[in-house]
Structure 1
Amino acid sequence: MGKYHNDQPIQGGPDDPDLLNRLDFSNHLANVLLLNHDDDCLTVSLEGEWGYGKTSVINLVKGALNEKETAPIIIEYNPWLAGKPESLIQDFLLQFSSQLNIKDNSEVALKAAKELIAYSSLFSVAKLVPGAEPWASIVEKVLSKFGSSTKKIAELKKLDLLGKKKKVVAAIEKVKAPIVVIIDDIDRLTPSETFQVLRLVKAVADFPGTSFLLAFDSSYLVSVLDKNDIVNASEYINKVVQLRVPLPVISERGMNQLANIELDNLSDKNLTDRFEADQEKLSWIFHNYFKHLIRNPRELKRFFNHLRFVLEQVEGQVCFSDLFSLSIIATKANSIYEHVKKAPEAYIGKRFSNDGLMMDKPEEVVKSFSEERSQILKEFSERDRKLLEGLLGDTFPLLDSGGYSHYGVSDADSAGRVSAPQRLHVAFHYKTPTGYLSDQEILDFISGDINRDDFLSRVVSEDADDRFFEMMTNYAKECKGNSFDVLTCIYDAFLKSEKLISSLESNYGFMSRDLYRQMNWLTNKVISESDDKYTLIKKLVGRQKSAPLAADVLYKIRSQIHGKKSYDEPWVSEEQLDELEIDYQKVAIKSLSDKTHIDNHLESHIFYELKRSSKDKTSEFMDTVLSGDNGTIRVVEIIGNTGSDSTNGPFVEIDEKSFGDVVDLENLREQAQKIDIANQPVHIQAVLKSIIDGKKYYLRDGVLGERW
């Protein structure tokens, strides 16, 4: 990463070049300022708004002056360094004297410096009066200090200010070198100080062979003079300044060049290659908003300082184009930026913290803040307000106020957009919060660059599984060569976890996003992105620990091939499905025989897919189970979960139509009637009751359910 800017102007030269094409302008201005030593004083103003590069042009002018055959004595005065506003004129003359002596240590320069010091001493009693020349102000001060006429006359003779000034003029003429006095940042002074600087230029230091270059924002200077009771401030400036020169307009090409240099310095890698359509959106934001809102070099530096700071902490976790947009807002409209931080629901319809209080739809929540957003935008000009509204709309689509529609994405979160709460949280907190995980961690997990088991243990301990499965789905296409290892690692971490068991036990309906469904969805996504689907599926189906997920994969393939309305391209051929069915039958029977998945309530899942795969093998297996020790209870365990509904969760409903072809129900019913049902766990009680009477019972509490 490159360095941060401290708003320093350019110095010119090969190490700090002029990128805004102002060198010729500066050379011409230098020629104007370069007087003959006996020419009358000339005052030139360099006028422009703050941040547009007045000081940089001054540095270029100084460079040009120093290269002249007859180089002038350049005296720079910084009014900010004056001790008190009332002593500013005296301070200026003392600095003039000091710099003159330093830059030309000849005898004549030393004499001129001494005369300047003597001249400056007269201003120690000055209190400038608006509308009066400096010496008139001094006379007024003296007359108010002494009572008798004799004392007044004696004191006035001591002043002889005009005489002192003539001696200074005579001494400076003997130096026989042009003098250029540069006074920058006049528009940053207080009204009193600004007034004094103009007065000293006009009447105190208008020496022959001396030119002044004053830099200021004219509109600000007029307002300052108005506050100092100067009537017709613009004309007053014209009396002081003989040549008013506006700063050259910065071309769009010049600003683009500066911006491109800064973008290149942000990072040595492509910042837009991680998220979908990021480069396209960056181009849209740059040309439609950045170029029109970031108007001068100072704003550009502040913008890239902000962008750099955020990027160094969250790079790769939020799409670059949205970080770019937020930095524009922070630079040009900090009040809006702070409002987004304070009330994210006004822009995305959700808060950072899931406090459960946002019951309305996100669109309705955003709409309810419309007036509040409008009040903040009122502080900006009509032009900027329209641009900011467009930028906000393109950054937060629920505002429906932007024109960005050419590069939409299928999912805001997977595209790293701040319209997704998780991404906005990261952008404003400058880090990935606990439970959110970073994109890089997910990529490292997929590639195996970190210990997968340790990482999943952290996911479980931080209760970050929801976010983990969201992001894994986003990055499923990155798995490819590692698909089998990634999926089986996830299965091993979650299939027997307490959270999965609890979620299956408390599942109130098919719409709930329990842990098992998330694994199932991720499995489907990874297979869809795989280049060799059959090999991956065959390995998954042949793994006993993966039997429940393998059952779901086979069910989906069967619907792809034989379903009436399948919109998916089949993952495998019909012949390959037949091979997979045989593999699954072996694994399913082995898994049920070994009770591999008895603790996580997924045996019924395996059983029903085995039943769909081969009724004959299922029937043969169930006969073996029923005839074994404690066979009735074991059959109950296997077939015990036939469905789930939103009323009371998982249920069982055993009838001849569904089970008669794979289980001897009559024999099973006789065996069930011999069992002391009351001493069995509740879910076993429910299954036994359903075997006996064929009715529907809920596994959670054994309550009789209604038939639908």
Structure 2
Amino acid sequence: MTGIPDDHATTNKAFPFTDKASGGFGDWRDEFNRQEFCNQVGSLLLEHRSPEGIAISIEGEWGSGKSSALAMIKAFLTIHKQDLSSKSSGSLTRIAKFKRWLRRHRRKSPLAHEDCTPILAEFNPWLVGAADHMIQAFMAQIASELGQVNQNAKATEAAQRLIAYAQLLEPLKWIPGAEPWTSIVRGVVDKTGQGVKKVSELHKLNIGKQRDALKKTLLELGRNIIIFIDDIDRLPPAEVFQIVRAIQAVSDLPRCSFVIALDPFYTEKALQTAASFESPGQYLDKIIQLRLFLPQVNKADLELYFEKRLWQAITPLQQDRFRDEQKRLSQIWQLGVKPLIQTPRDVIRIINRFLYIEPKCGTEVCWGDLLGLQTIAIVLPNVFRHIMQNPGAYTGIDMADSYQRGSHQEHVDQFADERATVLKSLPDKTRIQTQRLLEDLFPLLRKYSYDKLGQQEFSKNRRIAANDRLRIALTYDLPSDEVSQADVQSFCCDPASRDNVIRRVIAKDLLDRILDLALQKIDLSTVPDKREFVVFLGTIVEDQQINGRSQGFRSLFYMSTIDKIIRLSEVVLASLGDDGDELSVLSDLVSNPAILSLATHLLARILAKREEGLQQSEIASTKTFIPASENPVLKEWFDTAVNVLRSEAFAEIADKWIIVRILLSLQEGREQIPDLLLPHINSDHRIDAIADIFISNETDSAEGTTVACKNEYLRELGDPGIIRARADSRLSDPLVQANKRLVAIYKSIVQQQKIYVQNAEQEQEWSELSS
């Protein structure tokens, strides 16, 4: 697709667009180069002065613009019917040959120039709603137009005779409201006066004589009647047959010509169904003298039509997004969407759907993929239905199975036959084009490996090949368990919006998700305030409101959220450089007591990397004790941690356990830790708050989580006897008894056994505890 046209760059017209027929007046523009074709048809009708009527069909598939063509022909006739000398240049070959045929078959008495202004009538069979009365309604509409010709006695007489003739074809009751079309007749009755009151006697007349009288009146009228008939392809088969019969019944009347819009495939199929015609096409040929297909729409015109409608509706903000995504949008348009769009109606329906969905998820899904998916929904509904029912057959991820086995490619290949069945009913050319579009949208469907990126890469580029982006596109909005791309961007790169974003995310319990997306989608080197961002992450860790949502910090962050925050912080800080000292990036951070938990975790990661032979986690025990004084950053952290432990604020720290472990790895820390912890141990409130630091081992199993507090470890924290006595006294407190985790920790200390958290009464012997 090209860029935004200059004449539409700031236009923002309301949608949805309609596909109503273009009127051909005012500022209307011929966007598919069909005006010349319609002018030639109109010229043919104007120049036809013979009493013999003609029938012309304008044929095309549903939505191809037949109604607009009829409107253009009628507009031409309305403007030029007074000027019969007006002729169009460059006539089509078939129309030129037909004109020559008409000249050879004209009667000896052509119409006088002053009498040949045609009477234009429209008939929409869709409004009748009853196949049994189609012929009568059709004639009543023609009579209505005749009856409205001012100061023309012959027109009035023709209207009377036409109504009478229609009544003779099938007994009718001219009672207002008796049938859907009688309101049409009522206007004719008012204009034609007393003559119509005698219609009730006409059933006694011979149909042939009445028809001859009608013909004579129409000949004497001296004006051609041109009837436009539309929407035949919207009728059920029985009504299609009846409207064709109605045309046949009137077509041999003098002065009556027809311009009929129809879909030949549907019309012939309907005639075959309703009347069991073996050759319905030949039946139409007997009634219609000139069958014309609409000129084929040039793909370039269709593309321009699409672009103009799109630019008319999008906002300036959407225009900016288009500029950012033009490459992908152009790729999907040229290779996938453009070949599948066949008619102007396809364009309108796709644009309406796209413009409805884009404001809801356009920032989450790239425009090209969103457009491709909406094209499938409109043009290939069965394929779209299959994507809705089984998205994993295209992305490689089963949305309903969190423990899917096998690779994404294996999962996609598993449904190859199912996808082939869906595509089997399509014509060969359409099937090939559809397969190409699907492969562009879902690269795992390709037989070669090009562009087969991983889920994270697809998601980062907002491609629907990513499971999370496809979910958004299919739900037309952000799912309840998803975070918007805009919020992720603001969280990382907009300091002013950061706090509001994180509060909204936490309220929806989506903290883990926004951290995942930040790691996947954002170039963290572009974070404008890197140290401030890490500080902000540290305050999230320490936030009491977050901690209060569960039973303690570790049950919320353990091995998941805290690791993501640490990783996010490490990536952001990595771009600052370390000047040869990894610890230098933590300067100023380790001295901030408000983020002590995160700063300690970051410090622990660096210290763990420094220790050779440590193959376990950052909390593994080591016999090598580091002097805090050997590094300014380490000394800075030590002083901050000691000051916090000396105050009641330590009880409010989110992850006290990691702080104690790092203190125990430092020479100065091992010496001071018993004295630092004793005031907290002697306080009922504070010992409960720091109880997690007494856990030397915590494991998960099929039976649940267990905690163990080894004597050797308790000795490092203080006097085991004092700690055990305090734990035993706390077990009688009702507040402790209401907390299963506290009960398990205190029982493990007192009984020197491994205790299940879920059922603290269930004890497991473990000889190592008493060692």
Question: Into which bin does the TM-score normalised by the smaller protein fall?
Answer: 0.7 to 0.9
Q: 2:222 aligns with which of 173, 176, 184?
A: 176
Change (3 A) 1:521 1:34: same
Which shifted more, 182-191 or 547-556?
547-556
2:216 maps to 1:166: no
2:140 maps to 94
Change (3 A) 1:678 1:395: farther
Change (3 A) 1:299 1:361: same
Q: Tell me the TM-score normalized by structure 2.
A: 0.70
Give 1:173-252 correspondences, 5 Å limit: 173-227=219-273, 228-252=275-299
Q: Is the 8 A contact 1:626 1:632 kept in 2?
A: no
Q: Secondary structure at the match of 2:292?
A: strand
Q: Deviations over 1:601-623 (max 9, x none)?
A: 744534666788xxxxx434543
Deviation at 1:225, TM superposition (A): 2.8
Partners of 2:433 and 2:725 in 1: how far apart? 73
Deviation at 1:448, TM superposition (A): 5.5
Q: Tell me the TM-score normalized by structure 1.
A: 0.76
Deviation at 1:305, TM superposition (A): 2.2
Change (3 A) 1:231 1:342: closer
Q: Is the 8 A contact 1:390 1:403 kept in 2?
A: no
AA matched with 2:134 = L
Q: Secondary structure at the match of 1:67?
A: helix
Q: 1:521 aligns with which of 561, 564, 567?
A: 567
Q: Is the 8 A contact 2:58 2:259 kept in 1?
A: yes
1:605 maps to 658
Deviation at 1:506, TM superposition (A): 9.2
Which shifted more, 360-369 or 164-173?
360-369
Deviation at 1:183, TM superposition (A): 1.2
2:174 maps to 1:122: no
2:29 maps to 17
AA matched with 1:57 = A
Deviation at 1:520, TM superposition (A): 0.7
2:466 maps to 1:413: no
1:540 maps to 589
Partners of 2:717 and 2:78 in 1: how far apart? 112
Q: 1:590 aligns with which of 632, 643, 662?
A: 643
Q: Is the 8 A contact 1:77 1:182 kept in 2?
A: yes
Give 1:34-53 correspondences, 5 Å limit: 34-53=46-65
Partners of 1:247 and 1:220 in 2: how far apart? 16
Partners of 2:58 and 2:118 in 1: how far apart? 19
Partners of 2:725 and 2:153 in 1: how far apart? 120
Q: 1:76 aligns with which of 115, 122, 145?
A: 122
Deviation at 1:72, TM superposition (A): 2.8
Q: Deviations over 1:89-135 (max 9, x none)?
A: 22222211111232454233223222322332321259xxxxxxxxx
2:197 maps to none
Give 1:487-636 correspondences, 5 Å limit: 487-495=534-542, 497-498=547-548, 502=552, 504=554, 513-528=559-574, 538-553=587-602, 580-581=633-634, 583-594=636-647, 596=649, 602-603=655-656, 605-606=658-659, 618-626=666-674, 630=678
AA matched with 1:605 = I
Give 1:263-274 correspondences, 5 Å limit: 263-269=310-316, 271=318
Q: Secondary structure at the match of 1:19?
A: coil
Which shifted more, 677-686 or 588-597?
677-686
Q: Is the 8 A contact 2:754 2:765 kept in 1?
A: yes
Change (3 A) 1:223 1:557: same
Q: Is the 8 A contact 1:394 1:401 kept in 2?
A: no
Which shifted more, 434-443 or 214-223?
434-443
Provide the aligned length of Structure 1 versus Structure 2.
640
Deviation at 1:215, TM superposition (A): 1.4
Deviation at 1:65, TM superposition (A): 1.3
1:437 maps to 483
Partners of 1:483 and 1:305 in 2: how far apart? 43
2:395 maps to 1:348: yes
Q: Is the 8 A contact 1:456 1:490 kept in 2?
A: no
Partners of 2:568 and 2:326 in 1: how far apart? 28
Partners of 1:602 and 1:224 in 2: how far apart? 76
2:373 maps to 1:326: yes
2:419 maps to 373
Partners of 2:347 and 2:450 in 1: how far apart? 23
Q: Deviations over 1:605-651 (max 9, x none)?
A: 34666788xxxxx4345434456683998999999788988888999
Deviation at 1:327, TM superposition (A): 0.8
2:337 maps to 1:295: no
Deviation at 1:312, TM superposition (A): 3.4
Q: Is the 8 A contact 1:491 1:546 kept in 2?
A: yes
Q: Secondary structure at the match of 1:24?
A: helix
Change (3 A) 1:310 1:620: same
Partners of 2:26 and 2:338 in 1: how far apart? 27
Q: Secondary structure at the match of 2:170?
A: helix
Structure 2 segments unaligned to the other structure (5+ residues): 1-11, 85-116, 173-200, 614-629, 728-741, 758-763
Partners of 2:158 and 2:266 in 1: how far apart? 35
Q: Is the 8 A contact 2:366 2:462 kept in 1?
A: yes
Change (3 A) 1:240 1:601: closer
Deviation at 1:300, TM superposition (A): 1.7
Deviation at 1:598, TM superposition (A): 5.4
Change (3 A) 1:393 1:65: same
Q: Deviations over 1:225-275 (max 9, x none)?
A: 333133433222222222111111011111101211232134214549779
Q: Deviations over 1:635-691 (max 9, x none)?
A: 999997889888889999999xxx9xxxxx9xx67975765757648769989999x
Change (3 A) 1:169 1:281: same
Q: Deviations over 1:404-423 (max 9, x none)?
A: 73998852333333344433
Which shifted more, 94-103 or 240-249?
94-103
Q: 2:472 aligns with which of 415, 426, 429?
A: 426
2:153 maps to 107
Change (3 A) 1:83 1:284: closer
Q: Deviations over 1:408-452 (max 9, x none)?
A: 885233333334443333333333333323333444555356582
1:27 maps to 39
Q: Is the 8 A contact 1:182 1:212 kept in 2?
A: yes
Q: 1:315 aligns with which of 334, 352, 362?
A: 362
2:192 maps to none
Deviation at 1:471, TM superposition (A): 2.8
Q: C-alpha root-mean-square deviation of aligned residues, in Å?
A: 4.6
Q: Is the 8 A contact 1:499 1:515 kept in 2?
A: no
Q: Secondary structure at the match of 2:458?
A: coil
Change (3 A) 1:705 1:38: farther
Q: Is the 8 A contact 1:390 1:402 kept in 2?
A: no
